[in-house]
Amino acid sequence: MDQNRSSPAQPIYTVASIRRIEQCHLAEADPPLMERAGAAAAKVALDLIGAGGGKVLIAAGPGNNGGDAFVVARLLRAAGHRVTTVFRGDASRLPADAGAALQAYIEGGGEIVTEPPADESTPPALAVDGLFGIGLQRPIEGIHAQWVAWLNRLACPLLAIDIPSGVDGDTGSVLGCAVRATHTATFIGLKPGLLTRDGPDLCGRISVHDLDLPPQDVADGFTLAPALFAEHLHPRRLNCHKGMLGDAGVVGGAAGMVGAALLAASAALKLGAGRVFVGLLVPDAPAVDLQQPELMLRTAQEVVDIASALAVGPGLGQSEDARTLLEAAIARPVPLVLDADALNLIAFHPALAQQVAQRGAPTVVTPHPAEAGRLLGSTAAAVQADRVTAACELARRLNCHAVVKGCGSIVAAPDSSWYINRSGNPGMASAGMGDVLTGIALALLAQGWSALPALLAAVHVHGAAADALAARGEGPNGLTAGELIVPARRLLNAWIACRG
């Protein structure tokens, strides 16, 4: 797990919020915010260049991001580096601060070229992307698209100022094309687009620079970290027994999909549920799981009736029996995790969705983008286009706590609070991963955790377990869902030990 992912919970701000913060401090800022931003990015640049020095290529755009780039160019040149700044635009049409930054750079002896250097045989020590920032609202085209391609070809570290050009600051979507940075120096706070969808692939290592502004009172969201569920990380009493730790029930496992239910059940068992019951829908269901004999296999209806916390959906199928069991589970006044085919049934039967929304007991849903799209009456593409909004709308409609899974999973609560998870890696693009997540969330709910911290912890430890395996060379390629259960248990116990 890298430093980005092991940091405490950090505030996240939408582009609109960042603009409001900037406006609040614009008049009083001395030195100006652009000068502060450029100085912060220049410091990162100097660290990346190192003692060896060398030439630096800077691409500056026609707005304030370009102004930040001119400040960087001036400061790097003053530090003795050979700087080539590429800018094609009408200087008179630059925003006032950006125009002043350009003028200061030129007055300090800096020069502007209108085309990238033709000779790429000797790579520079560093390239800096200052083309477009978080204000970009349309696809990058024409000459600037060519410059993005040029920057991406360079065989050197590539520093993006605030956000890689072409990445939507709120959604992480790519607007036409985008710079693939190795490092991003972002200002004031994190933006959602840095952390979800394509953002993590394009931002590289992110550093946050507050520009010496006072801490903000309100954030739009937060990154996910153990601090958010720390109050539940306490050691068990010595005087406890399995009956105090919950009866977790998993209902699913129709023909050809038994493994999904057993994976979820195994995760629930090893993440601390006192007893785990499994209700399989497959005809002639086995009486025992020889790989995990601690699991208690009963009829699906028995499990619905006796569990103190339920998970319905892993391998459930969409038969009439599945629908009947789901309806019975929704009616039980116990914590409920819904995944996979349970979500598909709810999407296809509005009456079930209404029953979920009217539940008094906690409900957790764990869709991937396609399932979320069905629940919202839209598409996976629409969900991916604005993952935060989709997760919040899903939590509101179903009166539940929801996670929209994927790169930068979004956790949302019915009150519209939201969180972005930074743990995990591409090895999790593997069958059964969602079943294990469901089982982890079920285990925590069975042990008495409330819905939001249970889901936050489940999502975070699920990804962190994958990171731990990848760090040992056991991923990301070929990582399997069942392998995550033991390292997830190890991590949860380590967090509890730190708190205890």
Determine the Cα–Cα distance for residues 396 and 14; give it in Å rounded to an integer. Answer: 20
Spans in the chain with pLDDT lower than 50: 1-6
Contacts of 293 (CB under 8 A, 6+ apart): none
Instruction: Tell me the DSSP string of 381-437.
Output: HHHHHTHHHHHHHHHHHHTSEEEE-STT-EEE-TTS-EEE-----GGG-STTHHHHH
Between the CA of residue 298 and those of 1, 112, 239, what are the distances in Å? 39, 75, 29
State whether the Cα torsion 410-415-417-421 is positive or negative: negative
Spell out a b/e string for 141-160, using b for 16 or more CB atoms within 10 Å of the CB, else e.
eeebbebbebbbeeebbbbb
Report the CATH fold assignment for 226-499.
UDP-N-acetylmuramoyl-L-alanine:D-glutamate ligase (3.40.1190)
pLDDT given for residue 83 in this prediction: 96
Q: One-letter amino acid identity for 68?
A: D
Between the CA of residue 48 and those of 186, 312, 422, what are the distances in Å? 16, 50, 24
Measure CA of the first residue to CA of the last residue in the chain; give whole Å: 23
CATH class of 3-220: alpha beta
pLDDT given for residue 29 in this prediction: 74
Is it true that the peptide bond before 476 is cis, omega within 30 degrees of 0?
yes
pTM: 0.95
Determine the Cα–Cα distance for residues 319 and 42; give it in Å rounded to an integer. Answer: 61
Q: Where are the domains of the chain?
A: 3-220, 226-499
Q: Tens of pLDDT along 76-99?
A: 999 999 999 999 989 999 999 999
